[in-house]
Amino acid sequence: MKIIPVVCQRCGAPLDVADESVRFVTCAHCSTPLEIVREATQSHSRILEQIQAVTEDHSRRLEVIELQNDLEKLDQDWERDRARLCGRNETTGKINDLPAEGQLMGGMIAILCGLAFPFIFFKWEVMHVLANIVPVALAFWMGIRMIREGIWIQAAFEKKRDHYEFIRASLIARIQEAKHG
């Protein structure tokens, strides 16, 4: 059997690879790290930098896919949270833009009713003034409670939204980084 010498893929210098167990060598002439690819008829060397580059490219692509999956899941989670906090339009099924819309509107209506009440029923008699205090106070109390709840829900919503946007931006930055090295 004629032995074909294995040479360095970069400079062509012959390599000492008589030992079959040797897989990785460094060229004595140009110091290039090489992988010895042994085949039935002929062996050859492969420059390791290229292999590494391919591996790096592959793992980078995997990272991009993983990050994109994370992004998709983040968007889905946020969609669900948003639907829970803002509610959906009953006819279109679309998520409302504002959280706590019902509480804020309801609270304002209650306060307006409280304000309107004396003008509708008020008479300049002591008994009527006293009779009006209870429903007016009740309407104000209900209205303020609802508005306070609405403001609380809105603050919680904004906090969640800011958190979501922050995570999303950092995921997108990482995807860009992974894509372009």
Residues that bind Zn ion (CB under 5 A): 8, 10-11, 13, 27, 29-30, 32
Closest approach, Cβ 25 to Zn ion, in A, equals 10
Sign of the CA dihedral with 14 first, then 15, 16, and 21 last: negative
Closest approach, Cβ 39 to Zn ion, in A, equals 20
CB 6 within 8 A of CB 19: no
Closest approach, Cβ 7 to Zn ion, in A, equals 8
CB 160 within 8 A of CB 85: yes
Nearest residue (CB) to Zn ion, 10 versus 145: 10
Distance of CA 52 to the CA centre of its chain: 30
Nearest residue (CB) to Zn ion, 30 versus 54: 30
Closest approach, Cβ 27 to Zn ion, in A, equals 3
Non-local (6+) Cβ contacts of 127 within 8 A are: none
CB 96 within 8 A of CB 154: no
Closest approach, Cβ 57 to Zn ion, in A, equals 24
Nearest residue (CB) to Zn ion, 30 versus 51: 30
Nearest residue (CB) to Zn ion, 29 versus 160: 29
Nearest residue (CB) to Zn ion, 30 versus 62: 30
DSSP letters spanning 3-49: PPPPB-TTT--B----STT--EEE-TTT--EEEEE--SS--EEEEHH
